[in-house]
Every structure is written in C-alpha cells, then in structure tokens.
Structure 1
Amino acid sequence: MVSYRKRGKVWQYEISYKDLDGAYKKLRKSGFRLKSDAELAASQVKSLYADIRQFKAGEIPLSVYFERWINLYKRNSVTNVTFIKYENTLNHIRKIFGKMPLKDITRTVYQERLNVFARNHAPRTVSAFHKQIRAALLDALDEHIISNDPTRKAVVTGVAVHRPKKALDYGEWQKLIHHLDPDQIPEMMIYLAAVTGMRYAEILGVTTSDINWQEGTVDVNKTWDYKYHTGFKKTKNKASMRKLPLDSISLHHLHVFVENHLTSPNAPLFLVNGHAMVSAEINQVLTNKLHALGLPRVTFHGLRHTHASVLLYQGVSVLSVSKRLGHSSITTTQSTYLHIIKELEAKDTDKILAILKNA
C-alpha cells in the first residue's frame, strides 16, 4: 500500500510492507517538489522490486544477506568442512565490506574490496572468495533484491606465492634426519614425514594403538582435521589406508617418544597441549630447522616428495613407492615423479647398452 503526504514544501511517499521476518513496516522517502514526482519514484520502486520486502533487503549489509544465504542454501547441502569455508568467507565479508548495503555495492566498489582481500591472499584463495560471493549475489539478482551484478567481469588477483624447493636431495635428507630431536613433538613429526612419506594429517592421526612394536609398523587408518578441528577423519582414499614398516632406528625414536609423552591409546600422539599445529606452524618450525642447518627450504609436504625421491633414486620400484605413499594408483606416482623416472630410465638405458656391449 502506498500513501502520499505533503511535508512543508515537499512531498513524501510511504509504502507499507512486510519485512523478511513477516513484521509490518513502512518505507518512507521525502524531498519531492511535486506529488507526481513522489508517485513516479514510488512506482519505480514497486516496478523494479516486485516485493517491497526485497527492496528493503537491498538495504541490508552484504554480510547479513550472505549469512542468510549460506544457512538457507548451503548448511544442509554441503559437508561440514565446506560449510566452514563459507563461514570463513562470511567473516572476511564482515571485515572488508562492513555494513555497506547490498544496493550500494557497485562493480567499482566490489573490485576495490576484492583488491583489498587480494593484498595478502594467494590468487587461488581470492578466486574461491570471489566465487562464493558471486554465487550469493547472482541469487540476489534473480530475486530482484539488487538490479545489477556487481561481480561481473571482476578481476581476480593475489599475492604471488614464493615456491620453495620441492624436495631435498639424498645428502640434505640425511643431514636433516640426523639433526632432529625425536623427543620434541614438532621435530618428531618432521622426522616421521621424512622417513615414511606420510601426509601431515596422517601423522597427526597416529595413536599408540596404531603402532605394532613387534612387527615394527605404523597403521595409517585415519587422519586428524587440523584445519577445521572436527577430530578424526577418514584417510584421503582407500589406498591411503596402509601399514608402513619402520627401520629399527626410527622405531627406537618412536618408542622413546611414546614413553616420554604418555597418552591414552586412542588419543593423537602429536597434539601440543591438546592443540594440533596448523600447517603454517609446523612449516615455520621446519623452515627454522632447515635454515639453522644451512639447508634449502622445503615445505612439510615437501618431505613427502623428498621421501619418495630418495627411494626412487635408491632403486626402489615405482610400485613399492606408490604403495608406501598411499597413492590411489601407480599412475599418480608416475605423473608426480615423472622427471625422476625419466632420469632413472636414462641411467638404465646406459646400463642396458653396457651389458649388451660386454655380452
């Protein structure tokens, strides 16, 4: 319902409507010199926004709309981990867009705020952030809450990520494992990664009940969610569930560690005061250690590549390395370590020719 009244020398329109929660409210705007001007403005509002509640929704902050949107469309349709990612986006929206109404977010404004986010995030992260917001705003556009898509033709940038060395060579690997303190939680995790090739989440998922002291093996049967703190999770795939044989030295280090860090059989071995170190924390410990030893920087995941590279260069078959890493197929191993395999093939060719020559 629309009504008009004259306030002094200007006209005002008043539209009665129900808000998104069903409560009756009024939308007023004044300052029109003629009544016909007020009527035209009111009719434009009603024609552009079929439901006045949707017009009012255009005045709510992006963060409020996005929160309603993820609870309505995402909470029951995505995994808990994925929903947490949407919640992280919501927190960034609150910081970057503040209380800016949806209707005030133009393409220029959106690009400016996206650039702010990109100042300290990698392009891949910025792209994910942009895609989630864009999905919500396209729904807002379909519902006529906004009249234009502010995310159209947005340019995604980000901070270039410095790529450390992918893996240590054999000598560097030896130097690292011989200078680690197996009694320290972070350094024992680094040690295990270097001598087993286990993924970080797999190492965090190890409990004393997973260790078979008689057989000298570690049973990889679960992981620990260090990103979203949801506890134990399944392994990456079925092939990731495996028993890893340990050498006598590594088994001794692990035995001493367990004795000095008593935990219940089913509790994660490597929590620090009940806290699982996030990847940035363990990577910083590793970086500091490598720097102290005068070794090139690799990431914690790079220790997995190091382990595989060392085994391949030492003549272990690709199939055995694939099983030890828990790859879903040998093709994954071959594609990941193609450069090493080609080098080894070249050496094998020389050996073959030498054998035939001396036959």
Structure 2
Amino acid sequence: MASFYKYQTKNGVFWRFVIDNGKDPITGKRKQTSRQGFKTKREAQEMAYELEKEIKGKGSIFQGDNKSFYDFCNMWLDIYQNQRAVKPGTIRIRKNEINNWQHYFRHISIEDITLKMFQDAINDMKKRFSESTLEGIYITGKMIFEKAVELEIIKEDPTRYSYFPRYTKTVEEIENEEKLPNYMEKNELSNFLKTCKDHGLLHDYEIFLTLAYTGLRLGELCALKTTDVFEEEGTYFLKISKTLYNPKNIIKDYKLVTTKNKTSRRTIDIAPVVYDALQNVISYNEQLKEATGEDYHDEDFIFVNSNKYPGYPHYIKFVQHRMNRILRIANMNQHLSPHAFRHTHTSLLAEAGVELERIMKRLGHANDEITKRIYLHITKPVREKDAERFSQLMDQVINIET
C-alpha cells in the first residue's frame, strides 16, 4: 500500500510516494519502491496505483495484513476526496457510513466479502437506522466495492446484485411526512422582529431581518462578506456563493466551502430595508476594526463576533442561541429553528403571488418537496377560486349548447 508525502525544494512543493511490497521471504526485510517529483498528490496517487498493479500483477495490490476491508476504505476515502473535491461535511458523513460497514468487515479481506455477507449486513443495519440513513450507508458501500473493481483489486463486485431493503411505513409516519414544517405566520414574524428591536442583543434584529427577507440558509448568512452586498442602478442585490462550515462550533475553527449545489449559487434582489440594515452592520464593523487593531480577524465578514474574537464570523449554534432567547421573551414556539425563516420566506412569497419556479430559484433549490408543500398549502385558496371560476365558465358553455 502506498504512502504519500509532500516535500519542499528550491523549485517548489512536490509529492512523493513509497509502496510497501511486504517482506522479502529470504532476508525478512521490508521491500519498498518509491517515486517522487509529482506536482500534485493526485498525480502521485495515479502513478502509485499503476505501479502497484504492475508490481503485484492483476490480483490484489495488498499483501498480508494490508488486505483488509479497513485498509481499502482508507484508500477509497482518500481517492474519493481528491477526485470529487467534496466538502468537509460530506467527508464526515462518508466516514460515519464507513464506520458502520467496519462493524461487519473491518478485519476481513476485501476479496473474501460475498454478496450474502454484504446483503446480510445491510439487512441487519435496517433494524437500527432510518431509511434515509441506511440509504446513505448502502450507497457508500456500493461505491467502495465499485472502486475496488475499477482498480482491479477484486475481480467481481459483490454488491452488484444486492438490493436495498425497503421500509414499510406506518400510517403515523405517512401522516408526519405530509405535515407542514414549522414556519411563522405574518403576525408571528412581526412579533418576533419587534421583540428583536426592543430586546435583542447586538445585531439580532439585522440577522433575523435578513433571514426573513431572503430565506438564506444559516450557513450562507454566516459566510456573507461586505462584497456580497451591492447596488446596481438603484436596485440592491445579495450574492450567495459560499457557506460557513463549523461543525464543532469553535469560533476560530471555521471553513468556507462552496454552496450546497450549483443551483445554490445565486444573486437575489433585496429590499432597501435589508440593504440599510446590512450597511449599518458593516459600518459598525469598521469602527470595531479601528478599536481592536491587529486583534481584528479582517476577512470582511458581515456578521461577526465583537468580544473576545473580533471579526470572526458567527457560527450556526450562536445564531440558534440568540433565536431561542428572542422566542422565550416573545412567548413564541420554542421549537422554531433559524431554518423556519426559510420556510416563512417561502410562505410569504407564495402569498404575495410569486410563482413556485421563481421561489425555488430565489431559495437556491433545484427541487424541494417541503417548499412545494408550503407553496401548495398557501396558494390553496387561490387555486380553489380558479377552479370555481373555471366551473362557472363551463356552466356558461353548457348553457349555450342547450
């Protein structure tokens, strides 16, 4: 199995790899093959895999203890991360899914895993996981074995004729699926924002006003920078191109990653009241920057910490805590989350007569069942009137014929 190393020369940074060929049967010493001078890790990986196949022949590239499913999963995850340039959050999910497979196959040779073993494992996991969670585990398992075949580590894919065990849903589960998610009615939103104004902490009003008027995902809001807010010919716009990743909620330990998908990258128009609110926050940050000097984390974020770590962006849990405080003061539903503003935005747009396709585009959705359900719920009275008007028209047609 190859190990990869980055090294520095006067001509720049390069990669090298070392392949462990196992022990020499006569001397007992480990045999190794290495190459270097690769500009990227991916180039080194591709060469290493080709060389491993050449050294080992067309069979397994592993020997001895390195033949395990566990070791190949580590290799697969590295390939998956580099080839697909996936987000850290996706990698974390894949690792969790792999851990579930390790429970069954950790010390078993990947060549010895059969269709029955794979199917028995996924059937057993059905007892412990929801359908959506199990589906992710199943897909990851199939990807691992498909890659093993592609790299000629195994000859046949044991998952090829496997099946995903379907769930029988109860009446209660079906009814819960049809329930609308939590969102605020107009009077509730008005009460919440008024409470923010009267009792909110620093920039609470601006944060929740922006969420209400834009329907942004919370990670998108936390990642906003001053350059994302601009004006053109008297119209104000907000550009959404990134999201904040901070799963441990440690203020300095954040990453900026691309938005959820291609559709999520968008530019939307915003109301003057939102533009003015954001400009007020930006002006405050300029004063904070002058007051804190070099201690300010000057990365141009809009919604930032102003205490111990000035300039660092707020993380999702922080906004959730701020929202919980306002909900308590306003005596509102304590189960509402910041994502409720996204659903509220959908409902208000639907009530305003905005078409579903335009709502989806504004929210950055390629397709979303929850958004559709909210839209159909809000526009139901309008559709009933349409049906009534059509029925009246047809009555006239029938009367003309008679």
TM-score by length of 2: 0.55
Question: Is residue 2:265 matched to residue 1:231?
Answer: no
Give the corresponding residue for 2:85: 79
Gaps of 5+ in 1: 1-19, 27-49, 355-359
1:261 and 2:285 correspond: yes
In structure 2, C-alpha distance between the alignment counterparts of 1:185 and 1:343, rounded to whole Å: 37
For the residues of structure 1 that align with 2:73 and 2:360, how far apart are their CA atoms?
A: 44
Cα distance in 2 between the residues matched to 1:150 and 1:135: 9
Cα RMSD after superposing both structures:
5.1
2:172 counterpart of 1:131: no
CA distance in 2, matches of 1:59, 1:146: 18
Aligned pair 1:242/2:258, yes or no?
Answer: no
- Say if 2:217 and 2:339, in contact at 8 Å, map to a contact too: yes
1:335-354 aligned within 5 A:
337-346=375-384
Counterpart CA distance in 2 for 1:329 and 1:108 is 33
Q: Does 1:65 align with 2:72?
A: yes
Show the counterpart of 2:21: 22
- Call closer, same or farther: CA 1:55–1:109 in 2, change over 3 Å: farther
Counterpart of 1:172, as a letter, is E
Q: Structure 1 pair 221/147, CA: closer, same or farther in 2 (3 Å)?
A: closer
Question: Which residue number in structure 2 is paired with residue 47 of structure 1?
Answer: none
Per the TM alignment, residue 207 of structure 1 is displaced from its structure 2 partner at its CA by 2.2
Q: Which amino acid aligns with 1:245?
A: A
Q: Which residue of 2 aligns with 1:205?
A: 223
Matched to 1:90, the amino acid is K
Which residue in 2 is equivalent to 1:110?
121
C-alpha contact 1:62 1:102 (8 A) present in aligned 2: yes
Aligned residue identity for 2:269:
K
Q: Distance in 1 between matches of 2:366 and 2:142?
A: 36
SS state at 1:220 partner: strand
| Per-residue CA distance 1:257-281 (angstroms, 9 max, x = gap) | 3343346886121244425524x66
1:300 correspondence with 2:300 = no
Query: After alignment, is 136-145 or 298-307 more displaced?
Result: 136-145
**Contact 2:89-2:245 within 8 A present in 1 as well:** no
Deviation per residue, 1:2-48 (Å, 9 max, x gap): xxxxxxxxxxxxxxxxxx7323456xxxxxxxxxxxxxxxxxxxxxx
1:175 correspondence with 2:213? no
Aligned sequence identity (%): 14
Give secondary structure in 2 for the equivalent of 1:22. strand
Aligned equivalents of 2:387, 2:184: Cα separation in 1: 26
Of structures 1 and 2, the larger Rg is shown by: 1
**Aligned partner letter, 2:21:** G
Q: CA deviation at 1:306?
A: 0.8
- For structure 2, the 5+ residue unaligned runs are 1-18, 26-56, 168-172, 248-253, 290-296, 393-402
Look up the match of 2:98: 93
Change (3 A) 1:125 1:305: same
- The one-letter amino acid of 1:177's match is L
Partner of 2:213: 195
Distance 1:322 1:275, change over 3 A: closer
Matches of 2:99 and 2:20, distance apart in 1: 22
Q: Is the 8 A contact 1:194 1:304 kept in 2?
A: yes
1:345–1:90 CA distance, 2 compared to 1 (3 A): closer
- After superposition, the Cα gap between the structure-2 partners of 1:164 and 1:173, relative to the gap in structure 1 and judged at 3 Å, is same
Q: How many residues were matched structurally?
A: 303
Distance 1:320 1:131 in 2: 30
What's the CA shift string for 1:55-91, capped at 9, x where partnerless? Answer: 746764433211112334x34431332x762464235
Confirm or deny: 8 A CA contact 1:141 1:147 kept in the other structure: yes
Contact 2:59 2:153 in 1 (8 A): no
Q: Quick one: distance in 2 between partners of 1:296 and 1:205?
A: 26
| Aligned CA distance change for structure 1 residues 55 and 267 (closer, same or farther; 3 Å) | closer
Taking the aligned partners of 1:168 and 1:237, their CA distance within structure 2 comes to 26
C-alpha separation in 2, matches of 1:112 and 1:323: 37
Q: Distance in 1 between matches of 2:139 and 2:387?
A: 49
Q: Which residue of 2 aligns with 1:32?
A: none
1:219 touches 1:242 (CA, 8 Å); kept in 2? yes
